[in-house]
Chain A
């Protein structure tokens, strides 16, 4: 390897770093949140006594009449700290996704452009490899992280979960310490803190989706017999010679294909033919399959 080539590579590396920094620094407005006038680092430092046990000791040695106020003070302080860290987490989730996406897109484009227009074969080779690396890294980051489309949904779920977890704490703060001691408050505060996590949000979203699917199937699972003209036409489509004769396999295949595209999975053919809640689906199947 000659000196000229090494020098060229150092220059390219510098160029890449400068371009990268410029692109990322230009991405600040893409974070999606206004600048916070509060010095949250200072606030979190001031809240340290509520996390390092100092206030717990004060609470433990306080007379019963003072415990409620100290408890509420601790709860307020901890909720404030959790809110600050959650807001920071939220901003980073949005902001980092934008910076990675736009930054690597632009850096990739710059390098690809330089590859096409600059230098000798060795330089082109280095630039081409760098361009591919940046674009490849971005693809990996996009796949590995939860960014882009899923983040808004997860954040919305986190917000909802945090509100739900906040309710028992607010209720508890209105009653005396004997009825809502600090130990209980800590349990609820932990739930509040964890409600702002991605794993918790994913679990909640999956559970909601699973429940909706189960509800849909349960509705279909049991019902009174209904016979309408669409059901009769579908029956004759499946058994042109009568139900005591073999089913028309080609028609059955067509109907199953239609069902897989239009009904929840796991619904038997019988439910489509005679289920009371599927009249509109029967009609649609008759139309889509051109059933005589």
Chain B
């Protein structure tokens, strides 16, 4: 079963963002957002197709 819903990697050093994005892309997300934390890190948010079971885990937990 492929990943579903939203997965977030927090506080990724700027130099490592490309690695994280490349790793997420292996599972074909519908979109990837990079949020600048203005402290030398980014949060990388990968959005996959919605979970079909409707569980709360569709959403990020923070």
Listed in ascending order, the chain A residues whose CB lies under 8 Å from chain B are 210, 214, 217-218, 221-225, 227, 235, 238-239, 243-244, 247, 252, 265-271, 273-275
CB-contact partner of A243 in B5, B19, B56, B57, under 8 A: B19
Establish whether residues B46 and A268, one from each chain, have CB atoms under 8 Å apart when the complex forms. yes
Q: How far is the CA of A262 from the CA of B5 in the complex (A)?
A: 21
Which 8 A-B residue pairs are closest in the complex by CB-CB distance? A270-B23, A268-B27, A243-B22, A225-B12, A265-B1, A268-B3, A222-B8, A270-B24
Query: What are the interface flags for B17-55 relative to A under an 8 Å C-beta threshold, 1 for contact and 0 otherwise?
Result: 011101110110000000000000100001010000101
Establish whether residues A223 and B4, one from each chain, have CB atoms under 8 Å apart when the complex forms. no
CB-contact partner of B5 in A221, A235, A271, under 8 A: A221
Q: Which of A235, A238, A244, A266 has the most CB of B within 10 A?
A: A266
Establish whether residues A214 and B24, one from each chain, have CB atoms under 8 Å apart when the complex forms. no
Report B-chain residues with C-beta under 8 Å of the C-beta of A235.
19, 23
Count class of interface residues, chain B:
20 to 34
Report B-chain residues with C-beta under 8 Å of the C-beta of A267.
3
Q: How far is the CA of A266 from the CA of B46 in the complex (A)?
A: 13
Establish whether residues A268 and B56, one from each chain, have CB atoms under 8 Å apart when the complex forms. no
Q: How far is the CA of A218 from the CA of B6 in the complex (A)?
A: 10
- Check A266/B61 contact, CB under 8 A, given A224-B10, A225-B11, A274-B9: no
Establish whether residues A221 and B57, one from each chain, have CB atoms under 8 Å apart when the complex forms. yes
Establish whether residues A274 and B60, one from each chain, have CB atoms under 8 Å apart when the complex forms. no
What's the nearest-Cβ distance from chain A to residue B5, in Å? 7
What's the nearest-Cβ distance from chain A to residue B20, in Å? 6
CB-contact partner of A268 in B19, B23, B41, B61, under 8 A: B23
Q: How far is the CA of A222 from the CA of B6 in the complex (A)?
A: 9
